Amino acid sequence: MKKTLLVVDDDATFNKLLLRQLEGMGFTAVGAASWREGQARLAEMEPDAIILDFKLPDSDGDRIIEELRGQYPVIVLTGFGSIRNAVSAIRQGATDYLTKPVDLDELELTVRRVLENAELKRFNQFYRNRLASRRPASLIGDSRAMREVRAMIDAVAPTDATVLILGESGSGKEMVAQAIHQHSARAGREMVTVDSCGLQESLFESELFGHERGAFTGADRQKKGLIEEAVDGTLFLDEIGDVGAAIQAKLLRVMESGTFRRLGGTKTLSTDARFVVATNRDIARMSEEGSFRSDLYFRLSRFVITVPPLRERREDIEPLARHFAAEFSRVAPLTITAEAMSLLRDHAWPGNVRELRNAIERAVIVARPGLEIRAEHLGFIPRGSGSDVTLRFAGEPDLEEIERTYLAQVLARHGGNRQKAAAVLGISERNIYRLIEKYGVR
Ligand SMILES: Nc1ncnc2c1ncn2[C@@H]1O[C@H](COP(=O)(O)OP(=O)(O)OP(=O)(O)O)[C@@H](O)[C@H]1O
């Protein structure tokens, strides 16, 4: 049976052209000039896929994709070079993207791939659902450092001891906290996570300890704090290094005696929660300098797990990268080429595992379903290539001028190697050829 496509694009000439091409490829194609018209079509028909212009006069791509909630595979059309929109659309649930101007071979390839994947996906759904009935996420990595971390988790989890987890941002501290909770007798209870960051001190205090009615203006009813919600479970306090002095004192008290009071309250309440805390700050030094209570620090430092930064356990990069590639692949897990893997292994990863996860998520999107992740899909500058960039212009340049100058500079820096330059710029090789042609860069 002929597959049907709905094309939603407000550019009438382009839309007509696309419909004709799709018909020529053997599809049935229906056009709509706005999202409202697209909705009207959807009330009458069930297309096998939708080709959607990211920018429509009456709605935008992200919103439409959310509205469609995965009912149809969506191929997003984005402006030339706006990979950011494509990434954002795919994070929202779009299946694939095409950049304008649309290359006809690319169009046919993409449409066929998307339709094929949709079939596969239906097939896979059963297995996916079974996988989704989730084992708890486990810590990946078999470096010596991670083996030590695991041994510490196993040792401390069954006790009720307070644990302090240290490590840079994104290194996996929250995952370690989860593992402690899951390996403890409290696993059947909740782990309540409290993150102080961004909250005003008094608001955070009331989040944590709760408040009585009338404790402050606007406190029109009594509210229980997260400490009470954690009852017999685990309370995970992230960013303890950012907590103010008043709250530090209250925390010390609740850790020592298991008792606390709600804000504005007179009753002494008790809790049996187990405390796990984390920070990326040097609270040992802060306690010496007086910006963190030393008695609280001593109490916390009885059992410390330090999660090393990713650059100090490079053996973990490969298994983590494969793990994330499988996590983000929408059909079969994408493989990673040797060259791409070596770039990953060499990168400095200042944002640690979180940065790696984001890089792989992006690469999976840019690489397209069913294919492999190659060096040019990794949108970061390889380490050691020198990342200080100075561009000089007479007067105020427009964006195109900046793009042209930077393109020329990156190409020169990589000896005219287009593949490397494309990897640095975070665009495909196809696109770098287009840019070179557009700007006449030699
Ligand atoms: N060993 C690991 N195995 C699998 N995934 C990991 C591992 N370490 C970290 N991650 C993933 O990396 C991301 C960041 O980890 P996490 O939130 O635990 O870091 P964090 O140190 O608590 O960060 P922050 O200090 O910013 O709160 C999460 O998506 C997490 O699932």
**CB 168 less than 6 A from any atom of ligand 1:** no
pLDDT at 131 (0 to 100): 47
Report CA 44 to chain centroid distance, whole Å. Answer: 37
Q: For the whole model, what pTM was predicted?
A: 0.66
Angle (deg, nearest 10), helices 317-328 and 352-367: 50
**Radius of gyration for the alpha carbons in the chain, expressed in angstroms and rounded:** 27
Quote the ligand 1 centre to 302 CA distance (angstroms). 23
Residue 354: per-residue pLDDT: 93
Centroid of ligand 1 to alpha carbon of 330 (angstroms): 22
According to DSSP, the residues that pair with 126 across neighbouring strands are: none
Q: Tell me what pLDDT residue 330 has.
A: 72
By alpha-carbon position, which residue is closest to atom 24 of ligand 1? 169
In sequence order, which ranges of 93-143 are alpha helices (DSSP H)? Answer: 104-132
Q: Which domains does the chain have, with CATH numbers?
A: 4-132 (3.40.50.2300), 144-308 (3.40.50.300), 311-368 (1.10.8.60), 381-442 (1.10.10.60)
Amino acid (1-letter code) at residue 154: D
pLDDT in tens, 239-273: 899 888 889 999 999 999 999 999 988 888 888 89
For residue range 165-182, list pLDDT tens digits in order. 999 989 999 999 999 999
Is any ligand 1 atom within 6 A of the Cβ of residue 414? no
DSSP string, 303-351: SEEE---GGG-GGGHHHHHHHHHHHH-SSSPPPB-HHHHHHHHHS--TT
pLDDT at 380: 62
CB 139 less than 6 A from any atom of ligand 1: yes
pLDDT, tens digit (0-9, with 9 covering 90-100), for 344-356: 998 889 889 999 9
Rounded CA gap, 313 and 320, in Å?
Answer: 11
Question: Among candidates 204, 264, 206, 274, which has minimal Cα distance to 240?
Answer: 204
pLDDT of residue 146: 96
**Which of 318, 354, 356, when mutated, tests ligand 1's pocket best, judged by the most ligand atoms within 8 Å of its CB?**
354
Those residues of the chain that have pLDDT short of 70 are 80-81, 122-136, 196-199, 369-370, 380-388
Q: Please report the atom of ligand 1 found closest to the CA of residue 353.
A: 12
Q: Is 174 in the pocket of ligand 1 (CB under 6 A)?
A: yes
238 CB near ligand 1 (under 6 Å): yes
- Per the listing, tokens 């056009």 go with 31
Give the pLDDT of residue 371: 78
Beta carbon of 438 within 6 Å of any ligand 1 atom: no
Quick check: 232 and 189 in contact, CB under 8 A? yes
